[in-house]
Chain A
Amino acid sequence: MSASASHPLGPNATILKHHVSVVMNDGNHSSAPGSWVDEGRLIARVRQGDAAAERQLYEAHVDRTYRLAYRLTGDDDLAQELTQETFIRAFDRLGQFRGEAAFSTWLRAIATSVIYNGLRKIKRFRQREFTLEEASDLGGSVRAAEPDLKRKLARAIEDLPAKYRMVFVMHDVEGYTHEEISSAMGTQVGTSKAQLSRARAKLRESLSEFAGEWAS
């Protein structure tokens, strides 16, 4: 009997065999020597209640999940909570994972959903104080009160509608491809591209007073 025929997820399960991506502190994804694992088998073990396999699966994917959550929230506690929520949901629903796509793709879809909902909730709670802050910003001298470019940029990113912000941060900050973003968000590649373009246009508009900085 061949290895693939006896695979716990069936004869096509060898397609699940991929390299565990290790996220380095500098944000690049590198290959860890000797870390080839058969993720299909790992998932099958998790389904059987193997705690060690759960931990292994978690460790293979937690860095990228946490990084995305942190980039989008800028808050360690929130990023931790959103990451935890992602994995709790993923383990609870592992029975629904059919192996048609890579586990990382499936997990990313859960993560983006959890983070997106989290961002919207936060925005709702902060809406009022945010509006008050905006209103107070309108008074006083404009240029003298302006924060520096990076602060203004950070604020402009936070001001983006949640979906644009997700796409912008995933693509321009974390380096995801449009294919990865669209599969995670359940949209078309064209939608992801259009949203990124709109996000950039909005940022450009928000930073128009700094035009000299990037034109030089």
Chain B
Amino acid sequence: MTEKQFEDFLKEAVEDYNQPPEVPQAVMWARIEESRRASRSASKVVFLASPWLRWGIGLAATLVLGIGIGMNLDRSATGSETVVAVDPSRLADPTRGDDVYRMVALGHLSRTEAFLSMFRTDVRGGRSDYQVDNPARELLTTTRLLQGSPSIRDQRLLELLDELELVLMQIAQLRPDLDGEEAELVTQAIEQRSVLLRLRAAADAAPELRGVQGVL
């Protein structure tokens, strides 16, 4: 057998690989319009994605991580104190904390969007083993942390997180191979409440941070 023979074979064999159906132009256009409308009306915060801000975000993230690790170490250490040196002027500006919060929230929304898309696809495809390492629980925990954060200022984001908490809680409680009908109901709720669309619109409201985060 030669390379040419294999290429010829491939050419023929892949002709009907994932053959697309008729393009649902009107449906997609309606959603695009809706999303753009939602994005335009969303309150936008101007972010300065300058190098110092990125550095600042990195610093803050490291600080948070450091404090977390420090707290854990503290429990096991005997009487030792963790001292963290921080430039007070960097902490004095409350908007920097907001930026970090929004960056974390944006990453979370992106992951949740991907998970919910996959969940919906699996349910529609008749798969019921979605609970193998179900990430809903992990996403639910992060959602609740974000809901409870004092940095949350955006009412729309809070409403979206409340919505996500409800949906993720339902998914996390599904039993594998048993709750097919329940899963279908959750999927319907995701669609009826335009959860995916709202997730996307929220992400679109902060394009600068999307760049920092490197997500969809």
Contact = CB atoms under 8 A, between A and B. Distances in A.
A109 B16 CA distance: 25
Interface in A118-134: 118, 121-122, 125-126, 128-129, 132
A192 to B, nearest CB: 16
Interface in A54-99: 55, 58-59, 62-63, 66-67, 70-81, 83-85, 87-88, 91-92
A68 to B, nearest CB: 9
A151 to B, nearest CB: 11
A25 B117 contact: no
Contacts of B25: 58-59, 62-63
Contacts of A18: none
A215 B216 CA distance: 43
B20 A129 contact: no
B36 A154 contact: no
B132 A173 contact: no
Given A77-B124, A172-B10, A214-B9, A66 B23 contact: yes
Most chain B CB inside 10 Å of its own CB: which residue of A63, A81, A213: A81
Contacts of B35: 84, 88
A87 B27 CA distance: 13
Contact of B13 (A83, A125, A149): A149
Interface majority SS on B: helix, strand, loop or mixed?
A: helix
Contacts of B124: 77
Contact of B207 (A77, A78, A92, A213): A92
Interface in B7-40: 7-11, 13-18, 20-25, 27-29, 31-32, 35-36, 39
A157 B17 CA distance: 9
Nearest to B130: A129
A175 to B, nearest CB: 10
A211 interface: yes
Nearest to A153: B13
Given A78-B121, A214-B8, A132 B132 contact: yes
B114 interface: yes
Contacts of A173: 14-15, 17-18
A204 interface: yes
Interface residues of B, number: 46
A114 B216 contact: yes
A172 to B, nearest CB: 6
Contacts of B196: 81
B29 A55 contact: yes
A55 B25 CA distance: 10
A80 B29 CA distance: 10
Contacts of A75: 121, 125
Nearest to A215: B1
Nearest to B1: A215
B52 interface: no
A83 B114 contact: no
The 8 closest A-B pairs by CB, nearest first: A214-B9, A215-B1, A70-B20, A74-B18, A121-B114, A66-B23, A128-B133, A71-B18
Interface of A: 25, 55, 58-59, 62-63, 66-67, 70-81, 83-85, 87-88, 91-92, 114, 117-118, 121-122, 125-126, 128-129, 132, 149-150, 153-154, 157, 169, 172-173, 200, 203-204, 211, 213-215
Given A84-B31, A125-B115, 15 more contacts: A58-B32, A63-B25, A71-B17, A71-B20, A74-B18, A76-B21, A77-B117, A81-B196, A114-B216, A121-B114, A128-B133, A154-B18, A172-B10, A200-B10, A215-B1
